[in-house]
Structure 1
Amino acid sequence: MANTKLAVVAMLVILLQASALCAAARHHAGGGTPGVMTISNFDRGEGDLPSECDGGYHSNRDMVAALSTRWYEGGRRCERMIRITSTHTGRTVEAKVVDECDSKHGCADDVVDTSLAVWKALGLNANADDAAPITWSDA
């Protein structure tokens, strides 16, 4: 009887470890929804509007993002963290959703608009690229 209990516990441990490894593999592989990352200025400046989520401005050194209208979901993702993975570098970061990239006013349906800090953390050159392919998911 003790051997049976020990075998069951061992199987549970193995299954939990396998589940954790699969989750880690999905995280490193990027997973998530394919999109295009663009760069935006979230700082107070000429012609810039405050963020939809909190009515404030954010430093471009902060890890912040705006989602296109369908992903923004009417503000349901406000102040939530998302995970962004560069398909070029394979790096992954988390950023807080602070704004909408309005698809009715020029933003494409598949955009994650981010601060300069996100680009740098992903190892991308914002000066050389207007857009970068990414995947993203809720964190």
Structure 2
Amino acid sequence: FKRATRFRRGGYYFHIEQGNSFVAGGFWGPVPEDLKRIRDEIAFDPAPLRKILNSKSFKTYFKTLEGEQLKKMPKGYPADHEAIDLLRYKQFVLIRRFTDKEVLSDNFLKEVNLTFKAMRPFLDYMSEALTMDPNGLTE
């Protein structure tokens, strides 16, 4: 599912399969221009993203950021950058897995809704990185 308007970037994913049910969101395959913008935002100031990733809500629903990563630092960034762990991501994905018992429970839809809501700070951060110019103005 896509988010509304071009200023709300990222997407939501809903997968139901016996033994492999989950909801996810984020940026599965960002185009090179978007990936560079995200990395540049992280390189400029990783603190806002770290705050989201370390929040109680994030840890409760997702535990950690997921996605494919480079083995080395991407070109154009210093190898000793404080955010090397974040800059190496090629995908930025949040996933919450559910057991079959959880999927069949009466409050499953409520949990899915809460999970999607818990993604918002992350998706909003990424949306801002992808829709603001270097001066902080909406493009």
Normalised TM-score (structure 2): 0.22
More helix by share: 2
